[in-house]
Amino acid sequence: MDINFTAEEAAFRDEVRAFLKDKLPEDISRKVKEHKRLGKEDTVRWQKILNEQGWLALHWPKEHGGTGWSPIQKHIFEEECAEAGAPTVLPFGVNMVAPVIIKFGTQEQKDYYLPRILKSEDWWCQGYSEPGAGSDLASLKTRAVREGDHYVVNGQKTWTTLGQHADMIFCLVRTDPDAKKQEGISFLLIDMNTPGITVRPLITLDGEHEVNEVFFDDVKVPVENLVGEENKGWTCAKYLLTFERTGIAGVGQSKAALAHLKQVAAQQISNGRPLIEDPHFRRRLADVEMELMSLEMTNLRTVAAAEAGGVPGAESSFLKIMGTELRQEITHLFRTAAGPYALPFLNEALHDDFDGNYVGPEFAASVSARYFNFRKLSIFGGSNEIQKNIISKMILGL
Amino acid sequence: MDFKLSDEQRMLEETVGRLVRDTYTFEVRNKSLESEQGFSADVWQQFAELGLLGVPFSEEAGGFNGGGAELMVVAEGFGRGLVVEPYLATVVLCGTLVDKLGSDQQKEALVPAIIGGETRLSLALYEPNGRYEHNRVTTSAKKDGEGYVLNGEKAVVINGDSADQLVVIARTAGAEDDREGLSAFLVDGNAAGVSRRGYPTIDGLRAAEVVLKDVKVGADALLGAEGQAIDALEDSLALGLVALCAEASGAMEVACDQTLEYIKERQQFGVPIGKFQALQHRMVEMRMELEKVRSITMLAACSLNESRELRDKRLAAAKAQVGKSGRRVAEEAIQLFGGMGMMEETPISHYAKRIVMIDHHLGDSEYHFGRLESLLDVE
């Protein structure tokens, strides 16, 4: 048993570090580290840099332009990116729809979409959730009816993350309303510029426009945009859900956030001395650091098991729960660190081009918004309760 | 990075596993608990025959040359069986201290006897007003001709009632909580001036309050250089922490397994109670706490050769996590077992007691959180 990286793994980490030091634009990493809101162009610029290096498509096989990396390499890469303040790659294209296309798509679909995803030519979003289909995703109602060489789509999707920028959406639609719940669903790729599609913003409790509603009104989708067989869309959806989720624990993000929190707490004054010396606050920092050590090792155990050929299945559910709870706890501590200056809310101060005066310390401007925004972590991607159901069924056999 | 056990570690795991499964039944354990010394001499002899008592000692001394990972494997196995034999006291704490500090002569006299199961030792370290602070030592050792005279009181000395010899940590110099000036002495358990009040502990072990009154020992009783015991003592305590974390991990694993089995069998409202989501989620949370403890125990076990600061930070985190997660698992296990969890006759109650009370050995979670706080900036 050896918890340290091998010489090759350490060399790979150094290579990634050197690349990040050299190529990660300083203005972007500053925004990430200071929790400023990122624009579409920040994400696209970074994705193009990654693609130039051949490091965008972590999970793809080499022949399609992927890295072909091992689980440990992917893990190292994601941790280093998070710690360096690299923006999150938009997952919907490269990490979600692309693996489905690679696994179930036609040659034409692969030839057309995969290069466009690599070059960030299409901004993808995900059409899964509906107003009546959240955790119970298979109860979705958006209807697609085959008419000649088209499907006609009617219905509504919701919680569509960054759909306001999207060129393409991958959707789960019902093609057979008489079949059993999971069996009448198909996986469709839809051009967002098709007539009949309306995108409406949803503003979240932190004042952010991150998610949207997407309405489909007699939207004509060519049949060649069907991925896999008709009525077998649930297989694609499940494949995507069980797909490797190496970064799900968010250890790198938590490490970076904790380091920043310590920095901030050293500057804040409480009872006439730095907050970081306050025994109560320090105890909570210690608690988070301890939980993070446990999480990191649990994550590494899972990665090592994947490296040895295991398929990370329900174990990722443990990581999702632990990781999201920890990230949420850190946002709570940031709010605590800001004290009364957690209260002022200047939405414009969360943008990088803000040139006004902050109320109180600059770091405090975003802490409460982020705390509220991060409540989403335990809700999305299968709520933490759903993760517990998965563990309960798959691991505990209950 | 590699979490697999080596072939030797796997053999060790199998050896302990077989012993615990096949011979260390709940009934056998209960009989040991009722005996005067609180454990089974036969089982101890089996440990010796299987080579388990030699795990942390060098091969030249007849040992297994094991490090943190080997000790972890053994202690996890012991935890699964709630083993009450004095392995921590004799082998992990005292054995390694003697090995580290002792002269060739002292080692020759003791180490083979420990490995062979003939001699059992106990660490007389903590004091009635010292809680978990291992450097807060008022027991004094004063020079007396060639030898020393020891005076003081030692608190909750685990297996101190039955040990052949005590390793007494006493102050030869310095103020009450100085790190410098601590010395380790070998004291015969029956020496004149040593009185031991033995008693059972609630987690199935035995301990003693030890009073040393004008106990005279020769110069050959001193282990290592006078006043210089602290580093070696902390090395042994580090091993002890790994063993306790691993033991907790093993015991928590069984507690989770038994609880899972129970909620699959126990019927109420016409269905197994494990069909209720309220209980399923609690069961998942128990397993999650177990995974954390397993993970951080591995981290601790693999950190013994790091710098002292980094080692101590990780050990503190591990023991704090064991305290926090262990309590949660134990309380939930009792709750999910319902009334049966409250029963002396139900094994889960014994697991719960041991898991909770491990927090009171070598520093509880409050104590270790405090240590972690002071080491927060160590990378």
Taking chain B (379 residues) in runs of 10, the rounded mean pLDDT of each run is 93 97 93 94 96 95 94 98 98 97 96 98 97 97 97 98 98 96 98 98 97 98 98 98 98 98 98 98 98 98 97 98 98 97 96 98 97 95
pLDDT of residue A245: 66
Domain check: are A260 and A302 in the same one? yes
Nearest CA in chain A to B365: A287
> B372 and A290: CB-CB below 8 Å?
yes
Q: Is residue A156 part of a domain?
A: yes
Does B284 lie at the interface with A, CB-CB under 8 angstroms?
A: yes
Q: Is residue A325 part of a domain?
A: yes
Q: HSE (CB half, 13 Å, CA atoms) of A131?
A: 6
Q: Which of B1, B294, B321 sits opposite A3 (nearest CB)?
A: B1
Q: Is residue A284 part of a domain?
A: yes
> Domain B7-118 class?
mainly alpha
Q: Which of B295, B365, B372 to mutate to test the interface with A (most CBs of A within 10 A)?
A: B295
Q: Is residue A94 part of a domain?
A: no
| CATH T-level fold of B122-227 | Butyryl-CoA Dehydrogenase, subunit A; domain 2 (2.40.110)
CA dihedral A364, A368, A373, A375 (to 10 degrees): 130
Does B8 lie at the interface with A, CB-CB under 8 angstroms?
A: no
Domain check: are A313 and A208 in the same one? no
Domain check: are A273 and A378 in the same one? yes
Domain check: are A257 and A375 in the same one? yes
Using 50, 70 and 90 to split pLDDT, how confident is the model at A306? confident
Does A271 lie at the interface with B, CB-CB under 8 angstroms?
A: no
Q: Which of A282, A290, A318 sits opposite B291 (nearest CB)?
A: A318
Does B4 lie at the interface with A, CB-CB under 8 angstroms?
A: yes
Domain check: are A258 and A389 in the same one? yes
Does A277 lie at the interface with B, CB-CB under 8 angstroms?
A: no
Residue A16 pLDDT greater than 60, yes or no? yes
**pLDDT top residue among A321 and A352:** A321
Question: What is the tens place of the pLDDT at every residue in B35-85?
Answer: 999 999 999 999 999 999 999 999 988 999 999 999 999 999 999 999 999
Domain check: are A261 and A326 in the same one? yes
Q: Is residue A238 part of a domain?
A: no
pLDDT of residue A247: 79
DSSP 8-class letter at B339: G
3-state secondary structure of B288: helix
Domain that holds residue A320: 244-394
Paired strand residues for B267 = B272
Domain check: are A217 and A305 in the same one? no
Q: What angle do CA B42, B45, B49 make, to 5 degrees?
A: 135
Name chain B contacts of A4, Cβ cutoff 8 Å. 1, 302
3-state secondary structure of B15: helix
**Domain with A272 in it: what CATH number?**
1.20.140.10
Do the beta carbons of residue B158 and residue B122 sit within 8 Å? yes
The residue extents of the domains of chain B are 7-118, 122-227, 231-374
Do the beta carbons of residue A202 and residue A213 sit within 8 Å? yes
Q: Which of B275, B280, B295 sits opposite A294 (nearest CB)?
A: B295
Whole-prediction pTM: 0.95
Q: Which of A5, A322, A391 sits opposite B1 (nearest CB)?
A: A5
pLDDT of residue A307: 86
Domain check: are A253 and A390 in the same one? yes
Name chain B contacts of A79, Cβ cutoff 8 Å. none
Domain check: are A221 and A345 in the same one? no
- The phi and psi torsions of B123 (rounded to 5 degrees) equal -90, 110
Does B274 lie at the interface with A, CB-CB under 8 angstroms?
A: yes
ipTM of the complex: 0.94
CA distance B47 to chain A (A): 24
Q: Would residue A108 show up in a list of annotated catalytic residues for this protein? A: no
> Domain B231-374 class?
mainly alpha
DSSP 8-class letter at B228: B
Q: What is the mean pLDDT of chain A?
A: 95
Q: Which of A1, A279, A296 sits opposite B4 (nearest CB)?
A: A1
pLDDT of residue A257: 95
- Of A193, A209, A231, the residue at which a domain comes to its end is A231
Nearest CA in chain B to A266: B377
Question: What is the tens place of the pLDDT at every residue in A205-255?
Answer: 999 999 999 999 999 999 999 999 999 999 999 888 766 566 789 999 999
Q: Is residue A218 part of a domain?
A: yes
Name chain A contacts of B277, Cβ cutoff 8 Å. 389, 392
Nearest Cα residue to B164 out of B128, B200, B130, B194: B194
Nearest CA in chain A to B258: A396
pLDDT of residue A13: 97
> B317 and A2: CB-CB below 8 Å?
no
Identity at A142, one-letter amino acid code = T
Count up the domains in chain A and report the number: 3
Does B271 lie at the interface with A, CB-CB under 8 angstroms?
A: no
Percent of chain A with pLDDT over 90: 89
Q: Is residue A271 part of a domain?
A: yes
Domain check: are A59 and A145 in the same one? no
Choice among A9, A34, A244, A325 that is catalytic:
A244
Domain check: are A202 and A176 in the same one? yes
Common-topology check for domains B7-118 and B231-374: no
Q: Which of B9, B288, B299 sits opposite A293 (nearest CB)?
A: B299
Using 50, 70 and 90 to split pLDDT, how confident is the model at A313? confident
Name chain A contacts of B69, Cβ cutoff 8 Å. 1
pLDDT of residue B60: 87
Domain check: are A60 and A138 in the same one? no
Question: What are the helix (H) ranges across chain B?
Answer: 7-22, 26-34, 41-49, 68-81, 87, 96-101, 104-115, 230-265, 277-301, 308-337, 347-357, 365-374
Do the beta carbons of residue B217 and residue B151 sit within 8 Å? no
Name chain B contacts of A303, Cβ cutoff 8 Å. 1
> A295 and B292: CB-CB below 8 Å?
yes
pLDDT of residue A310: 77
pLDDT of residue A238: 86
> A289 and B372: CB-CB below 8 Å?
yes
> A282 and B373: CB-CB below 8 Å?
yes
Q: Is residue A311 part of a domain?
A: yes
Selected residues 309-328 of chain B with any CB under 8 Å from a CB in chain A: 314, 317, 320-321, 324
Question: What is the tens place of the pLDDT at every residue in B200-210?
Answer: 999 999 999 99
